[in-house]
Amino acid sequence: MTPIPSKKPCAKKPVQYLNRELSWLNFNERVLLEAGDESVPLLERLNFLGIFSNNMDEFYRVRVAMLKRLTAIKDEADKAELGYDPAKILKEIHRRSVSQRYKADAFYEEICRKLAGENIFFINESKLNEEQGNFVRQYFKETVRQFLFPIMLDRFKNFSNLHDNSIYLVIDLTHKDDPAAENLALIEIPTRHVSRFLVLPVGADKKNYVMYLDDVIRFCLADIFSVYGFTGFKAYTIKFTRDAELDIDTDVSKSFLEAVSDGLKQRKFGDTVRFVYDEAIPRKVLTGILKKFNIKKRDSLEKGGRYHNLKDLILFPRNAGTKKMQYEPMPQLEAAEFPAGVSMLDVIRKKDVLLHYPYQPFQHIIELIREASIDPAVRSIKMTIYRAAKHSAVINALINAARNGKEVIVFVEFQARFDEAANIAWAAQMQDEGIRVLPSIPGMKVHAKLLLIRRKEQNINVYYTAVGTGNPNENTTRIYTDEHLLTAKKEIAAEVNKVFHILDDQKYQRPDFKHIVVSPFGTRKFFLKRIDREIKNAEKGKPAWIVIKLNNLVDRKLVNRLYEASEAGVKIDAVVRGICTLIPGLPKKSENIRAVRIVDRFLEHSRIFVFCNDNKPEYFIGSADWMERNLDQRFEVIVPIYEPALCKQIWDILQIQLSDNVKARLISADKPNEKIAAGKHEKQIRSQTEIYRYLKTSLSEK
């Protein structure tokens, strides 16, 4: 019996690691550029500022936190094995991230000016008239006050009670009896309970005003503190970001669930990796705060403006603006294969179906599970869950299946970063409903997106399989572009069932897969073989090309082999949303590589792989990026697309994306987000709009 491979540290070359981190910043800068694009509607520009801010928070909590841990290495031998200087990388990251924040601030000011031109104004506590002041004070009393719990800092001791990535107001208070004494208080801005933005009623001036929750609290500070004899109030915003790495105890006396739960409790004690403060804060106050919170590393400090957590702009109230300030509606397209009143299982039995989110609704998958839950011939449903919606219709459908007497087996990943607590709660609820929840695997995440339905037909087990590129989450499938293959092919179903047996046993003989590709069992080797085949074909003068679409392209062996393929004459097209260390123009002989990054109204998330194979193309979709963690430290599933009609769909969509000259940017060594200029008489192609039209036309022809 072969144990599941354990997670092993892997040293990287300095340039590879540096490229990885800086490439991520290049991606986030591409998001930021949408906020600065005047062709993007104003409220959507605010949304991109929010996405940029949220991305940066995660970057610090995960990647920067890891680098800061590595700077603590004292042993010179360990440093040599590491192969790079994390301190130098941190310095460059800090320089770039500060530069991006200044650019974000400039875009924010520009958007505010544009909104003012549309009669929408941000207003702070010092600009309110009497009528507005009365409204704000009443709103504070009825809605906000109940969530405020001021802390006097001279008595405050437990720093871990403060919430990571929340924003706080530091209040510099003046007492009537001793005006010279220093009195500092801390108030968390309760954005988990109250909207960050308050839309004020339109007054006599016919203008529309929006107020930050921060300023609502500033306006009402006297209502909180005057009862204690304080007469002066000055408020400054601060925010700290903690190391979010989940340290899991290896104590064998604990179950893995207990270890993860304990790790979640310990996360709030993580080191501060970034402390952002209002640059207007007096130095004396700042010094006292840093001392109180034991923040000593100067590289963790970052000056900010009056407002932090611009990620809340993602939830900016849409009713504050007009329709022209938002993207035009793009109603989801129903899959023609599943008309009302027709059994989805009957359809899938006859032919494979490929769904494209968010152009088509994820509701089809929910309906498939619902149909299976009440079909008397269905015996079992198996599924993997990595991230579920907050109010998950998928899990409710699975619970309904269990209540209807089906055998339901679900693998819930307890180690899904930032979703650990939610997944543990879902697992407990499903177990209470009679669902068998497979235990998570220490050191290995299950990232595969699988659904397997077993139905008894003429006394024979018939399997229906769904394999996707994204999470079974009805919320994210409205904004993430993903693909989902639905098939009843026996060869695919049998091998997906093997994966579930592996997850159930957690001990196994090395599996033999002939159709699907499964990490950690040779996914890298599988793709290397296909790249090598293209190299050999190019050397023989045969057609040779590769088209890939990924979130992240990082794995050093695969990247190096792609460079070799380019040198051999293989044409390589890559659509990479995030980190891309395959840099056209970096090695001199990479002229056959073209890599683009697309950022638009939807988040590009699909993983698609197409290989020429001497003009007999092979098509694959799946959950795995080309990163070491996806290839070696996770369960991932890549599935082949066999139906010619579905292959054509994939090919047409990829060609539309590679033709994008509106939202695509070239990835290169010198210009990581170089705009693609359309020729004078060339049609402008915005790929997401064109894909929607393509699918709409395709569906109408069926």
**pLDDT of the residue at 249:** 45
Q: What is the mean pLDDT of the chain?
A: 88
**pLDDT of the residue at 251:** 42
pLDDT tens digits, 513-565: 999 999 999 999 999 999 999 999 999 999 999 999 999 999 999 999 999 99
Q: Is residue 417 part of a domain?
A: yes
Q: Is residue 334 part of a domain?
A: no
Q: Is residue 93 part of a domain?
A: yes
Q: Is residue 338 part of a domain?
A: no
What is the CATH classification number for the domain harbouring 250?
3.30.1840.10
pLDDT tens digits, 74-84: 555 555 565 66
pLDDT tens digits, 307-320: 998 999 999 999 88
Q: Is residue 337 part of a domain?
A: no
181 and 87 fall within a common domain: yes
Q: Is residue 563 part of a domain?
A: yes
Task: Examine the fold and report which residue of 471, 493, 512 is the final residue of a domain before the chain moves on.
Answer: 512
98 and 32 fall within a common domain: yes
Q: Is the pLDDT of residue 256 over 60?
A: no
Structure tokens at 341: 């009143």
Question: Over the Cα atoms of the chain, what is R_g?
Answer: 27
For residues 320 and 325, give the distance between their C-alpha atoms in angstroms, rounded to a whole number. 10
Task: Examine the fold and report which residue of 263, 293, 325 is the final residue of a domain before the chain moves on.
Answer: 325
**pLDDT of the residue at 383:** 97
For residues 96 and 67, give the distance between their C-alpha atoms in angstroms, rounded to a whole number. 16
361 and 417 fall within a common domain: yes
296 and 355 fall within a common domain: no
684 and 558 fall within a common domain: yes
Structure tokens at 296: 């000593």
Confidence of residue 104 (pLDDT cuts 50, 70, 90): very high
**pLDDT of the residue at 1:** 36
625 and 601 fall within a common domain: yes
Q: Is the pLDDT of residue 144 over 60?
A: yes
Of the candidates 447, 515, 605, 681, the residue annotated as catalytic is 447
Longest dimension (CA), the chain: 91
171 and 312 fall within a common domain: yes
Contact 608, 625 (CB under 8 A): no
Q: Is residue 339 part of a domain?
A: no
Structural domain including 392 reads: 344-512
415 and 524 fall within a common domain: no
Q: What's the structural domain count of the chain?
A: 3
623 and 474 fall within a common domain: no
For residues 471 and 385, give the distance between their C-alpha atoms in angstroms, rounded to a whole number. 7
User: What's the whole-model pTM score?
Assistant: 0.89
**pLDDT of the residue at 10:** 40
Q: Is residue 331 part of a domain?
A: no
What is the CATH classification number for the domain harbouring 627?
3.30.870.10
Task: Examine the fold and report which residue of 479, 512, 545 is the final residue of a domain before the chain moves on.
Answer: 512
441 and 477 fall within a common domain: yes
313 and 424 fall within a common domain: no
For residues 438 and 441, give the distance between their C-alpha atoms in angstroms, rounded to a whole number. 9
Which of 65, 80, 58 lies closest to 299 in space, CA to CA? 65
597 and 622 fall within a common domain: yes
Single-letter amino acid code for the residue at 557: K
* 447 is a catalytic site residue: yes
**pLDDT of the residue at 21:** 80
pLDDT tens digits, 160-208: 667 777 899 999 999 998 888 889 999 999 998 999 999 999 988 999 9
Q: How many CB atoms lie within 10 A of CB 652?
A: 15
Average pLDDT over residues 636-651: 97
DSSP string, 508-521: EPPP--SSSEEETS
pLDDT tens digits, 392-438: 999 999 999 999 999 999 999 887 676 678 888 888 999 999 999 99
Q: Is the pLDDT of residue 329 over 60?
A: yes
For residues 189 and 290, give the distance between their C-alpha atoms in angstroms, rounded to a whole number. 20
Q: Cα dist. 471→20, 283, 365, 386, 387 in Å? A: 24, 47, 12, 6, 6
Single-letter amino acid code for the residue at 227: V
Range list of β-strands (E), 167-207: 167-175, 183-188, 197-199
